[in-house]
Structure 1
Amino acid sequence: MKKTYQDMVSIVRIALGSAKGILYLHMEANPPIYHRDIKASNILLDPRFTAKVADFGLSRLAPVPDLEGGVPAHVSTVVKGTPGYLDPEYFLTHKLTDKSDVYSLGVVFLELLTGMHPISHGKNIVREVNIAYSSGMIFSIIDGRMESYPSKCAVKFIELALNCCHDETDTRPSMVEVVKELETIWLMMPESDTKMSESTESDPEKVFTPTSSSSTLKTLYTSQDISGSDLASGIIHTVTPR
């Protein structure tokens, strides 16, 4: 099957790599990190559509255990982020959690499948997709440039994205659950065995300098930032958040 950006296999591959990168930050980094600015332009791609999470300028350290061993449920902080991707509960309460990154990633997932911007002409992508899903018109909002795709995979992908974008923090899945669901969708795709072996191959790192800081998911770059493949290989990166 021809691999293009509008190809469902590439979309799931990008989503899975991005999710594994964020899972690395939440679970494997020492100390754990909340990215706080997940958006399309902060997820870079190499020519094989391997996703790399970039730009940690707004990142914050996750809460650490106190003297009694308890871990605070959130970080209280001034709201930072990008309109359209910003967790609404974080915006209202100033309480940053790992689920704030989950919300932002869910918006990216919706962008991948619909080709819509997070906010455009007064319309919000989460609201528009929710309306289409509730009215049974979900396939009408899938990017018209998409080639043929398995309808079951597309529906499960949209349902996952919408679950990530719930207004209530506790209703959203964890990053572990997001990765597991994406792996399930990946295996549902045609030629899943071939795709899985391709996804676990390790490529030599080649670094290129992006030509613009506003590069999007449709721009192909290679970066040395956190990637999904790094999580699988157990490589630990040093990231110094602000």
Structure 2
Amino acid sequence: MSTDVIIGISVSCVALVLGLVVVGICAIRQKKRAERAIGLSRPFASWAPSGKDSGGAPQLKGARCFSFDELKKCTNNFSDSNEIGSGGYGKVYRGMLSDGQMVAIKRAQQGSMQGGLEFKTEIELLSRVHHKNVVGLLGFCFEQGEQMLVYEFMPNGTLRESLSGRSGIHLDWKRRLRITLGSARGLAYLHELANPPIIHRDVKSANILLDEHLTAKVADFGLSKLVADSGKGHVSSQVKGTPGYLDPEYYTTHQLTEKSDVYSFGVVMLELITARQPIEKGKYIVREVRLMMDKNDEEHYGLRELMDRSIQNSGTLTGFGRFLELALQCVEESAADRPTMSELVKAIETILQNDGMNTNSTSASSSATEFAASKGAPKHPYNDGLPKKEVNDSTGAFDYSGGYAVSAKIEPK
């Protein structure tokens, strides 16, 4: 064949190959667009082992799947007026469902979205948690590129807000004992009765919410860990949590146990006595209590100047000495020296029973009249505290604040 014919054939072959490559690239792009469209219309397709849609949302205990349009409508298009909390993860909105039920909707922002498998794991975990002292998950939304969790609404916000005086709710000593008992029961349930057991890993007063009767409920499982291997006794984990509440043993060994939650809860108990944040003006609440404690003072144990003024002059404080002893046991340096949450529950129940109070209900108020009369308490003498800072919190977890907007100045440095 002549040279011109050979060149013509070669050019034609190259053109054909290039054409096939272009067609292939276009086909791949078209396939990806189709897969994205399917993902938006069938968000649970990726959850099935085979990668095919198994017929809708997975069956979860007590949690339902909400549509994006339904949640958009009940929050008035996620209006600013319905925003009740925010953080690194996203925002929380107050909403009212079509049946009149108030809910709190935690909406992830685009930069902090989890993968489908991680989101599935979280909601399956939360859907298995059912206890009157743990905030309940009502459902979720996973469509149109959105990830939202729908919780029961807690109208009286966080324990931190009540202790700071911002909520206007007065917590007398007996109410504080009941809040302690309720939140301890919630944590004991997570540690011993949940299947598999759960370590909260971020126990603090800002994650204990109060319902309309001031019943305490543990919230925010953004940092929680499952104890899958109970024989091991601990979970090796990167240290995460809030400064001031962190278990020093967990911080140094990176071995997370249920006793890490116990340490954090002991700090909360000291907050209930002092109303101060764990670290305030460079002073650590655990160290300050230990330095000032005087067992020869049978009334205030040397802590009168540290105590919250709203209980400082309220007369006899039922079981105050025993309560203080328990709190200090919880914050022992060695986890082996701390009680379990169930042991703590029994001890708090004994304090209440010795004073003739009913421990079957952990509500901090026995009647609506009593609760209504507690509103309008004087402002708390302490300031709003120091800016919040999380330790290695790559998840961007944040606090659902119940019925009140959370100030950026809640947790200490």
Q: TM-score, normalised by structure 1?
A: 0.75
Q: Match for 1:6: what amino acid?
A: L
Whole-angstrom distance in 1 between the partners of 2:184 and 2:404: 25
Determine which of 142, 148, 153 is the counterpart of 2:307: 142
> Could you list the runs of 5+ residues in structure 1 that have no partner in the other structure?
66-70, 202-207, 218-242
Q: Match for 2:292: what amino acid?
A: A
Partner residue in 1 for 2:186: 21
Counterpart contact for 1:105–1:164, Cα < 8 Å: yes
Counterpart contact for 2:277–2:285, Cα < 8 Å: yes
Partner residue in 1 for 2:12: none
Whole-angstrom distance in 2 between the partners of 1:27 and 1:117: 29
Partner residue in 2 for 1:5: 170
Residues 125-146 of structure 1, C-alpha deviations (whole Å, 9 max, x = no match):
0111111225751333221111
Residues 145-173 of structure 1, C-alpha deviations (whole Å, 9 max, x = no match):
11524346111111111110011110000
Whole-angstrom distance in 1 between the partners of 2:408 and 2:203: 13
Residue 18 to residue 209, structure 1, CA distance change in 2 (3 Å): closer
Whole-angstrom distance in 1 between the partners of 2:291 and 2:216: 29
Partner residue in 2 for 1:96: 256
Partner residue in 1 for 2:214: 49
Partner residue in 1 for 2:235: 75
* Superposition RMSD in Å: 2.7
Q: Match for 1:42: what amino acid?
A: N
More relative contact order, 1 or 2 (CA 8 Å, 6+ apart): 1
Question: SS where residue 196 of structure 1 aligns?
Answer: coil
Question: SS where residue 103 of structure 1 aligns?
Answer: helix
Whole-angstrom distance in 2 between the partners of 1:11 and 1:215: 25
Q: TM-score, normalised by structure 2?
A: 0.45
Counterpart contact for 1:41–1:216, Cα < 8 Å: no
Partner residue in 2 for 1:235: none
Residues 79-113 of structure 1, C-alpha deviations (whole Å, 9 max, x = no match):
00000000010001100000000000110111011
Q: Would you say 1:174 and 2:340 are equivalent positions?
A: yes
- The 5 A counterparts of 1:107-122 are 107-122=267-282
Partner residue in 1 for 2:285: 125
Residue 74 to residue 149, structure 1, CA distance change in 2 (3 Å): farther
Identity fraction in percent: 47
Which structure is larger by alpha-carbon Rg, 1 or 2? 2
Once the 2 structures are TM-superposed, how far is the Cα of residue 47 of structure 1 from its aligned partner?
2.9
